[in-house]
Amino acid sequence: MFVLHHRYNLFPRLLFKLYAFGLFIGGIYSVPPIRTKKNPLLAGLTIATVRGFLLNFGVYYAVKDAVGAAFAWSPKVSFVARFMTAYATVIAVTKDLPDIEGDKANQIETFATKAGVKRVAQGASLCLFANYVHAILTGLLSAPGTFNPVPMIGGHAALATMLVLRFRQLDPDSMSSVKKFYKHVWDLFYLEYGLYTLI
């Protein structure tokens, strides 16, 4: 309780509410009796909300507040919040791929145990590819000067190509291949943050 009170005095009210909300849904993800991680849909929503929206919006809002600037939505921040929320949703679905054998042994229900590695990987790759197409179209259709076109269009085209190549290398029957595919999903996630600094 002291920690929350201390945070309340440090942050503006909206940021404190976002922090408390993130702390709450992050807590019920792992802490009994609720443990939303046991339900694939609830786990996905939790991860997408925290890693996608709250993280990106919260950091942007905090930086604006720290430098004394008035908050206003930036097209770039709006884009990265949308893009990363969609991406975090895919991570929430694929996170159980490397653990599928253990989950089956312990009768833990996940998207991977229900649909199988191949179908989950295909669906995840299609969603991520659509996300990259969305990024490219955003760059093409936005007003001139909104985005730097080379990283926004060319950079996302390059990452989409990497995604397709990584998916083609996946052998759903090989656990080492599945783990490698999942690692590549995370690699592309962090490369997006690097690209964001250029767009």
pLDDT averaged over 10-residue windows placed end to end, the chain, 199 residues: 54 79 85 80 81 76 77 84 90 87 78 88 96 97 95 97 96 93 94 91
Q: Tell the burial category of 145 from Cβ atoms under 10 Å away from its Cβ (0-12, 13-18, 19+).
A: exposed
pLDDT at position 186: 93
pLDDT at position 151: 96
pLDDT at position 4: 52
d(CA 58, CA 15) in angstroms, rounded, equals 7
Q: Which of 189, 64, 57 is nearest to 131 (CA)?
A: 189
d(CA 122, CA 128) in angstroms, rounded, equals 10
* Pair 94, 182: CB distance under 8 Å: yes
d(CA 37, CA 55) in angstroms, rounded, equals 19
Q: Which of 94, 194, 78 is nearest to 135 (CA)?
A: 78
d(CA 84, CA 82) in angstroms, rounded, equals 6
Q: What is the pTM of this model?
A: 0.80
d(CA 131, CA 153) in angstroms, rounded, equals 12
Contacts of 174 (CB under 8 A, 6+ apart): none
Residues 105-120: tens digit of each pLDDT: 777 778 888 888 999 9
* Pair 117, 93: CB distance under 8 Å: no
Contacts of 61 (CB under 8 A, 6+ apart): 12, 14, 15, 18, 71
Two tokens at 118?
């191949």
